[in-house]
Amino acid sequence: MVSFAIYLAVGKVYSKYHTILDERGFVRGIIAPDLVDNKDQSHYTLKSRGNSLEKSSKE
C-alpha cells in the first residue's frame, strides 16, 4: 500500500506541470500495475530481464 501513496504523490506533482485530460484514467494508470496478480507482467524484474520488445514482436 505504501507504493500506492508514492505513485499518487508523484502523479500529483506530475499533474502540476502537465495537463491531465482524464484525471480518473490517469490515477487508474498510476496504480494499475500493482493490481495484477502476476507482477512479472507489469514490473521489471530479474526474471523478465531477458524480455525485449524486438523478441516479443516476433512471437
Residues 14-26: tens digit of each pLDDT: 999 999 999 999 9
Record the pTM.
0.58
Q: CA-to-CA distance for 1 and 3, rounded, in angstroms?
A: 5
Q: What is the mean pLDDT of residues 25-51?
A: 73
Higher-confidence residue of 32 and 50: namely: 32
Q: Where are the domains of the chain?
A: 2-58
Residue 59 pLDDT > 60, yes or no? no
Q: Grid cell 504523490 — which residue?
A: 9
Cβ neighbours of residue 34 closer than 8 Å, sequence gap 6 or more: 3, 4, 7, 42
